[in-house]
Structure 1
Amino acid sequence: MKNLLVLICFLVSTIGFSQTLVTGKITDQNSEPLPGASISEKGTTTGVISDFNGNFEITISSNEAVLSISYIGYETQEVTVSGQSQLDIELAESAVSLTGVTVQGFAGIMGKSRKRTESIQTTAESVTALNAEGIESAGITDISSFSTLVPNLKFNSSQSIGLNFITVRGIPQVRGGDAPLAFVIDGVTIPDPSLLSQDLYDLALVEVVKGPQGALYGKNAIGGAVNIYTKDPTNKMSNQIKLGVGNGGFKQAQFISSGAIAKDKLFYRFSTQYKDFDGLLTNEFLDEKVDFREDINVRGQLKAKLSSNFSITGSYQYFNIDGGATYYSVNPTGTDGEFTGGILDPNPADGNNVIFSDVLGTSKMTNNYGTLKMDYNLTGVKLQSITSINKVNRSTNGDLDFLELDGLTQGEEITTKTFNQEIRINNAKTDTKFDWSLGGFYQKIEKDFYQNGTTGVDFGGPFEYDTADYINETQTIALFGFGDYKLTDKLTLSAGFRLDMDKFTQDDVLFVTNSERDNSEIQPKVSLSYQANKNVLVYTNYGRGYRNGGFNAQPTDLFNRDFEDETSDNYELGFKTTSWNDRFILNGSVFYSKLNNQQQYILDLTTFIAGVYNYDKSEVFGFELESRARLSNFLDVFANVGITDAKIIEGGSTGGDDGTFTNNSAYDGQKTPFVPVSTFAVGLESSVNITDDLKFNGFLNLDTTGKTYWHESNRDAFTTDAYSLLDARLGLSYKNWKLELWGKNLTDKAYYQEFSPGEFVGSPDDVAWRGQPLTVGTAISVKF
């Protein structure tokens, strides 16, 4: 880290100071940010685009430079800098936008997949993103609702609040393990995958970039990254209140406020939301709803501009979620005609997927998350420091046999504490062929785990166990760098790396053992992109990622004491095109990944111990296409498709330390479990200005998940067929009021998010986790 600071000082000292840095924000007449606006200095080739919050930074040749600001559908405006270092510019809507087709589809979406602002159509990555307007139109409220718009991405939840299963490009998440995607909020990597369960609101950007992103985001970005950016505090006062209701006793209240405490100097943003849901799924034995959920979320931000070049932003978020848990479905008649459980149809059928446990499961998750970000702008260089702390508590109580049998219950508590510190230096010059960034990163994670899987546990209140069964600690030091160099006006070479140096330790209180392991992993990334013309981009890239290994509770016949780090080498060829006068977008890519030590989860019911093991080698081949067409100024049609062929090449063997083992080579050549073989979505989006004050919005999406194998054997008895879910949202805005109607799973399709065959874990019962049935609701909001 010391060497890094020396390098930073050297770079800063060598930068020339003849130019001037200007920052600013581009908004419309309602103070809403305009992402992707073009800002250029007249008489030069210097130009930038505004980000998803409407912000921009540009280095100009003199204090009297003239900036030209343009945005499709708005009048172009020219502004003389006149020595100002901060410019807030409001654009007026053009009359042409009311009659002509002016929207560019994806080309207007600004992302930050490579840690800098750029249009998706010029990014040499497979990226799907929505800015604030698209998030609101599509009704994005969580990662699950966004995943339906992303090819080769599937998000499922199971068992309890915070237990998620994410699959991206053939790489699944193991139960309770790290996700194959880095999860990034406002530029800070959040290591606990349970936080993907939180509600999303008041957002400026939601973005998924696929393929290994270790060079940019570090460990566990083996399949990609999810970028989430909240809306910035504003200089102009604005408030919003939203109230909603729905079936299943759903209630919602939301309040957002932003403005200046000291004009042009100190700004705030406060957001809070409350949701309550009684549930729709019924436990037939207890005659109670089981999928209930109550969610309280509070977020605050303060931003201070201490000078024209220096700003500090502090943020804090708290949420508390209480909900149902362990409500797995069983076959009520079993194989012998009695109510004992048994073989379950992996495709839900009436009478074969009944919730019938004698314990009403409950779960709870609380989160406290704070960040401090400091930005220092010099001419040509931007220094950034990000410090964050995070604490997550999760608890679960519920049935273990999932029947009306007495005695078998389960309970666990998990506490995760994280400290992050990142220092980054970025190029800020806009008139150079070489764009670069470099920095250092430190992270410490402590995870305390307590579990009782046989007789249950009485905690006497949330998170009050006396001592943990296991205390896991991970410390990471990383160095990273990334750069783009324009070989020609059309050809760009990009390269980067990240060196993660990890140390893992585990204190096993139950068996009085201590374990530790060290690992260093270099994650390179190289890409070559060719901008044939302004409408066609072709790119190829290679990336390496890894997901760290760890320790199991103890060895069994099914898994070892520890499990290995998983690595992925990905090769990709892609294209991005815009045609039909910028009204039709078609993006696509083909990819191939080689994985070593791919991780898999299993529960050994003979010992009631869960663990993770590794396949020696596996591979994934696939492709994906995304398209959007603006048929008129009032109607878009969009579609995406993803195909994944994920296979186990060498299953290898795993087992305990006493000489017993399980041979997994019988699964060589089989499909990787938990991976849908395809995803497909098609939809319509409409926006109509009925009058100057009255506006209609509509969004319709049909999402199809392909066949999914739940076990390495690939037997039909453990395979779910393809199914489709239909979602819709309608909105009617009048001045500052908006009325919304929404519906999810409108055909009330029965489906499973998880299926567990009992045959392979020593249980007579198959169990499955049911997806959410038909939900509908309405909301009204007002801005003032």
Structure 2
Amino acid sequence: MQKIQLILLLVFFTTTSVFSQNIIIKGTITSADNQELIGATVIQKGTTSGTVTDFNGNFEIIVPEKSTLVISYTGFITQEIEVVNQNKLEIVLEEDAQQLEEVNVVGFMGVVGKSRRRTESIQVIPESVQALNSEGIKNAGITDLSAFATLVPNMKFNTSQAVGNNFISVRGIPQLRGGDAPVAFVIDGVTVADPSLLNQELYDLALVEVVKGPQGALYGKNAIGGAINIYTQEPTNTMSNKLKVGYANGNAKTGQFVSSGAIVDDKLYYRFSTQYKDSDGLLKNDYLNEYVDFRKDFNIRGQLKADLTDRLSVSVGYQHFNLEGGAAYYSVNPTGYEVDGVQEPGGALDPNPKEGNNTIVSDVLGQSSMINHNGNMKVNYRADHFNIQSITSFNQVDRKTYGDLDFLPYDDFTQNEVTSSTTFNQEIRIENRNNASKLDWSFGGFFQIVDEPFYQDGLVRDYDTWEQFNVVAADLTNVTQTVALFGFLDYKITNKLTASLGFRFDIDNFEQDDRLNDVKSSRSNNVFQPKASLSYQAKENILLFANYGKGYRTGGFNPAVTNLFNKDFKDELTDNYEFGFKTSAWNERIIINGSAFYTDFTNQQQFILDLTDFYGGIYNYDKSRVIGFEVDTKFRLSKYLDLGFNYGMSDSEIIEGGTTGGENSDVTDNSKYNGNKTPFVPVSNFGVNLSSSFKITKEMRFNGFINLDHTGKTYWHESNLEEHTSDAYNLLNARFSVSYKMFEFEVWGNNIMNQQYYQEFSPGQFVGSPDDVAWRGQPRSFGTAMTVRF
């Protein structure tokens, strides 16, 4: 321990000794029409020390007193500003008319991310990163992670059963029902432990970003496939307001209001946003003659930020949402089998749905809800030599689900589930602030405690007496406590070659109190997650990189033991290797980024529903692997039209399935699936999009975005049987808008071709049920909205 402290002290004094009489300059850079310029360059004149504006158009830089800053942005006139007795700047850049001529089409700019906890262009980050800033989010019509996933290679986001039930897969690693997501989920720098919160509305955002590959060194446990960063818009010093109303088919109504400004100029700022959505639904239960995918969502968010001094700032934030929707509306085959000469729904279901070969006929109208309270406080101190930040957060989620369990028009079985999670996080992070140093570093500590009560019961019919009685399936509480230390170093070996090294050491303790069976279980982990990368700037517009990382997704306890899974499931561990490149050409009018990766799994986790015992649980494969590649490209075809294309392929294979479940004859042997593809993961996906933005007149602008999203073949079970495998399908989405001064009018459409598809498919023969059941994707939807800014 003393050696570690000595090393940290040497790093600290090495990086701080270069400073003397420095000042911190903070500022915002906008265009003449008050649009934030994202990725604008701010450099101390005569040096290489500089920074770029973040996704809110803000920047911070430490310079000696009486310095000159050089401000530049493609398509705008460069400015030089002398800093004399100033700590805060509001800079307005004027467009360079000559550069904006048709013959000098401006390339892509302003694409920044924060995947390594600092703001930088994604073209210099040695990771596979896709990011959209506020304008990109608005133009593409991104309102949730499902919409964003259509723009990301090797990423798929599905939902099923109830609000808060998500299935996200990244690079061949699926999310598990009842388990943790394969990605870290971070909102405004705060780690969100409950994966159900991935299924929330996204609005008033500054950045949405996904970084792939194991990110445990930077984001902690469960970041085995990557991390998703969401940053909301920050409070502003100038007053601004936005009101939006919309309407769509399914009697879907939307209202949104956002307000931001200064309570005390240059000192205390606020941002308030709220949104309400209400939809009757688009999918109908043929037996009840009612729409089942109804949804109502109320969301409110508030932020306060105080600059107490030039060096000390404090911000607090709070979010609450109440989401209600349908549940358990699974499809079955309407022409299944006969009982006593009567045709009954059920039996084999085609995994490629077409009109009439699947239907929703349950006799119970399912309902679900999710309520969230989320608060955080951040304290940030900027010294000459370093930045220290404290993030404290509290998060509570309450979920309820009620619905049919036989999914047929008979009162045989019902399901009821009540679950919640309470999370407390505390993180302390110290970061280098020397922009000119060859060594960049950060380190810190993290504490988290998660308390998760879980209760499940339902009505079951006794076929001897034909009476129904209630059966409690689970009544337990899981508690997880984590203490972690982490650090990350970047060192420029030469002007072109940079080495990075990161680590995280997690100490995890798990406890389960199973009140139903009067059993208490506990276990603990000490896991070291290293990460190393090497990047080479071959040319100004060509970056080559290689990464290695250790991934870790925590194990845990199932509600019970069945012949399909054990009481506990093991930690999932991976070794990950990646080689990638980032290039641009033709004055940044062409961007081509790509990477190839290999992931070696030990104890890969998988979920299965055992309807024989009415339990769902997680089990492990002994060995498995994923090999894949992806490419993400952008082409600026003209001043008015951009073409985007992305493609991802993940070849996931079970190497040694192993055994799982009870004892002796009850054990399930999964080794018979060796060599097969792992389920729930599309073997490939690609997207093609066209976007356009141009001025119709001086004060009127058109924006258009069309995206074709292709999902490849998906295996729903380890057997890889064709009758349990969905073929590829395409979804076409579009959004068009016209803005004039303070007004904007938009029209949009999702799944325009009305493609039928499944987001989840459960083969009955493997889960103890006579029926195959499946969760249908959303049909065609279209709508319009009006926005006014004032």
Residue 301 (structure 2) aligns with? 299
Aligned residues: 774
Q: Distance in 2 between matches of 1:27 and 1:218?
A: 35
Residue 267 (structure 2) aligns with? 265
* CA deviation string 1:328-350 (max 9, x = no partner): 00001213371231100000022
Secondary structure of the 2:354 match is: coil
* CA deviation string 1:631-685 (max 9, x = no partner): 1111100100001100000000011156631100000000000010000100100
Residue 548 (structure 1) aligns with? 554
**C-alpha displacement of 1:2:** 12
AA of the residue aligned to 2:489: G
Write out aligned runs for 1:136-215 (5 A).
136-215=138-217
AA of the residue aligned to 1:726: L
**C-alpha displacement of 1:12:** 6.3
When residues 363 and 7 of structure 1 are mapped into structure 2, their CA distance, relative to the original with a 3 A threshold, is: farther
Q: Distance in 2 between matches of 1:11 and 1:208?
A: 30
Q: Which of 280, 283, 286 is the aligned partner of 1:281?
A: 283
Q: Distance in 2 between matches of 1:419 and 1:273?
A: 26
AA of the residue aligned to 2:163: I
Secondary structure of the 1:449 match is: strand
Q: Distance in 1 between matches of 2:98 and 2:369?
A: 52
**C-alpha displacement of 1:54:** 1.4
When residues 249 and 754 of structure 1 are mapped into structure 2, their CA distance, relative to the original with a 3 A threshold, is: same
Q: Distance in 1 between matches of 2:357 and 2:723?
A: 14
Q: Does 1:55 align with 2:58?
A: yes
Asked whether the equivalents of residues 759 and 775 of structure 2 are also in contact (C-alpha less than 8 Å), the reply is yes
Q: Distance in 2 between matches of 1:258 and 1:8?
A: 40
Asked whether the equivalents of residues 8 and 425 of structure 1 are also in contact (C-alpha less than 8 Å), the reply is no
Residue 474 (structure 1) aligns with? 480
Q: Distance in 2 between matches of 1:669 and 1:452?
A: 38
**C-alpha displacement of 1:42:** 1.1
Write out aligned runs for 1:718-729 (5 A).
718-729=724-735
Q: Distance in 1 between matches of 2:88 and 2:383?
A: 14
**C-alpha displacement of 1:90:** 2.0
Secondary structure of the 1:760 match is: helix
Q: Does 1:381 align with 2:383?
A: no
Residue 40 (structure 1) aligns with? 43
The percent identity for this pair of structures is: 59
Q: Distance in 2 between matches of 1:57 and 1:287?
A: 59
Q: Which of 502, 509, 524 is the aligned partner of 2:530?
A: 524
Residue 415 (structure 2) aligns with? 410
Q: Distance in 2 between matches of 1:588 and 1:536?
A: 12
When residues 739 and 376 of structure 1 are mapped into structure 2, their CA distance, relative to the original with a 3 A threshold, is: same
Q: Distance in 1 between matches of 2:286 and 2:473?
A: 36
AA of the residue aligned to 2:97: A
**C-alpha displacement of 1:103:** 3.7
Q: Distance in 2 between matches of 1:102 and 1:317?
A: 42
Write out aligned runs for 1:354-753 (5 A).
354-455=359-460, 469-657=475-663, 660-753=666-759
* CA deviation string 1:68-125 (max 9, x = no partner): 11111222122111021222222222223542444432x5300001111111111100
Asked whether the equivalents of residues 579 and 597 of structure 2 are also in contact (C-alpha less than 8 Å), the reply is yes
Structure 2 gaps of 5+ residues are: 462-471
Asked whether the equivalents of residues 473 and 615 of structure 2 are also in contact (C-alpha less than 8 Å), the reply is no
AA of the residue aligned to 1:649: I
Q: Which of 111, 114, 119 is the aligned partner of 2:113?
A: 111
Asked whether the equivalents of residues 729 and 757 of structure 2 are also in contact (C-alpha less than 8 Å), the reply is yes
Q: Distance in 2 between matches of 1:751 and 1:499?
A: 42
Q: Distance in 1 between matches of 2:98 and 2:147?
A: 34
Write out aligned runs for 1:121-140 (5 A).
121-140=123-142
Asked whether the equivalents of residues 558 and 567 of structure 2 are also in contact (C-alpha less than 8 Å), the reply is yes
AA of the residue aligned to 1:631: L
**C-alpha displacement of 1:155:** 0.3
Q: Distance in 1 between matches of 2:650 and 2:659?
A: 25
**C-alpha displacement of 1:357:** 0.3
When residues 727 and 386 of structure 1 are mapped into structure 2, their CA distance, relative to the original with a 3 A threshold, is: same
**C-alpha displacement of 1:59:** 1.7
Residue 464 (structure 2) aligns with? none
Q: Distance in 2 between matches of 1:103 and 1:416?
A: 48
AA of the residue aligned to 2:382: N
Secondary structure of the 1:649 match is: strand
AA of the residue aligned to 1:765: D
**C-alpha displacement of 1:592:** 0.5
**C-alpha displacement of 1:31:** 3.3
**C-alpha displacement of 1:617:** 0.5
Residue 462 (structure 1) aligns with? none
When residues 160 and 210 of structure 1 are mapped into structure 2, their CA distance, relative to the original with a 3 A threshold, is: same
Residue 27 (structure 2) aligns with? 24
**C-alpha displacement of 1:555:** 1.1
Q: Distance in 2 between matches of 1:556 and 1:694?
A: 64
**C-alpha displacement of 1:32:** 3.0
Bigger CA drift: 245-254 or 605-614?
605-614
Q: Distance in 2 between matches of 1:780 and 1:270?
A: 20
* CA deviation string 1:273-329 (max 9, x = no partner): 001111010000000000100000000000000000000010000000000000000
* CA deviation string 1:448-501 (max 9, x = no partner): 001014449xxxxxxxxx998111000000000001100100000011000011
Secondary structure of the 2:455 match is: strand
Asked whether the equivalents of residues 706 and 732 of structure 2 are also in contact (C-alpha less than 8 Å), the reply is yes
When residues 38 and 340 of structure 1 are mapped into structure 2, their CA distance, relative to the original with a 3 A threshold, is: same
Q: Distance in 1 between matches of 2:2 and 2:343?
A: 69
Q: Distance in 2 between matches of 1:506 and 1:579?
A: 56
Q: Distance in 1 between matches of 2:132 and 2:2?
A: 39
AA of the residue aligned to 1:265: K
When residues 723 and 159 of structure 1 are mapped into structure 2, their CA distance, relative to the original with a 3 A threshold, is: same
Asked whether the equivalents of residues 4 and 440 of structure 1 are also in contact (C-alpha less than 8 Å), the reply is no
Secondary structure of the 2:337 match is: coil
Asked whether the equivalents of residues 58 and 429 of structure 1 are also in contact (C-alpha less than 8 Å), the reply is no
Residue 467 (structure 2) aligns with? none
Asked whether the equivalents of residues 63 and 84 of structure 1 are also in contact (C-alpha less than 8 Å), the reply is no
Secondary structure of the 1:146 match is: helix
Q: Distance in 1 between matches of 2:309 and 2:6?
A: 25
When residues 307 and 687 of structure 1 are mapped into structure 2, their CA distance, relative to the original with a 3 A threshold, is: same
Secondary structure of the 2:607 match is: strand
TM value normalised by structure 1: 0.96
Secondary structure of the 1:523 match is: strand
Q: Distance in 1 between matches of 2:389 and 2:146?
A: 32
Q: Which of 766, 769, 775 is the aligned partner of 2:775?
A: 769
When residues 642 and 736 of structure 1 are mapped into structure 2, their CA distance, relative to the original with a 3 A threshold, is: same
Secondary structure of the 1:195 match is: helix
AA of the residue aligned to 1:511: N
AA of the residue aligned to 1:774: R
Q: Does 1:290 align with 2:295?
A: no
Secondary structure of the 1:108 match is: coil
